[in-house]
């Protein structure tokens, strides 16, 4: 039995194999990029969650300090109102930072937030349910 080898067929087979390998490499690269992005998002979520927890703890500590100043005033040892005002302004800043972190976490978790008013909207919404402004779908 004689086997004939067609050089053109072998060449075509080699090209097909090369193309398949190239396609597989591109698919693997895209999958790796998707995994990298998901890992980065997860790391960012963990960092934001930790920062939120830390801010909440700091707010609790500062509120305890305010409570102690108020109680001292009740017991007849008046507090310096400037001290209390300074703590309250600090707490206001902590709350602003906390809300910013919570909003970032909602966005990373897939929430659709209005760029105009910040309201959270249902997936697929075209207009904000709160203010009526068009929502960015990108």
Tell me how far apart the alpha carbons of residues 56 and 1 are, in angstroms, rounded to a whole number.
83
* pLDDT of 4 above 80: no
81 found inside a domain: yes
Which of 118 and 44 is assigned the larger pLDDT?
44
**Structural contact between residues 98 and 55, judged by C-beta atoms closer than 8 angstroms:** yes
Interval 99-104 mean pLDDT: 94
Query: Which domain covers residue 33, as residue numbers?
Result: 10-102
pLDDT band at 80 (very low <50, low <70, confident <90, very high): confident
Phi and psi angles of residue 120, each rounded to the nearest 5 degrees, phi first: -85, 135
Number of structural domains, the chain? 1
Torsion from C-alpha of 129, 130, 133, 138, nearest 10 degrees: -60
111 found inside a domain: no
Within 10 angstroms of residue 114's Cβ, the number of other Cβ atoms is: 20
């Amino acid at each position: 039995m004689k086997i004939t080898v067609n050089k053109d067929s072998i060449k075509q087979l080699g090209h097909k194999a090369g193309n398949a390998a190239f396609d597989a490499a591109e698919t693997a690269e895209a999958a790796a990029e998707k995994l990298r992005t998901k890992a980065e998002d997860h790391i960012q979520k963990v960092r934001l969650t930790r920062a939120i927890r830390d801010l909440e703890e700091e707010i609790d500590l500062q509120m305890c300090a305010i409570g102690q100043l108020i109680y001292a005033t009740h017991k007849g040892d008046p507090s310096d109102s400037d001290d209390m005002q300074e703590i309250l302004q600090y707490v206001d800043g902590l709350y602003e930072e906390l809300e910013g972190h919570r909003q970032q976490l909602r966005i990373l978790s897939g929430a659709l937030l209005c760029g105009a008013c910040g309201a959270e909207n249902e997936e697929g919404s075209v207009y904000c349910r709160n203010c009526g402004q068009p929502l960015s779908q990108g």
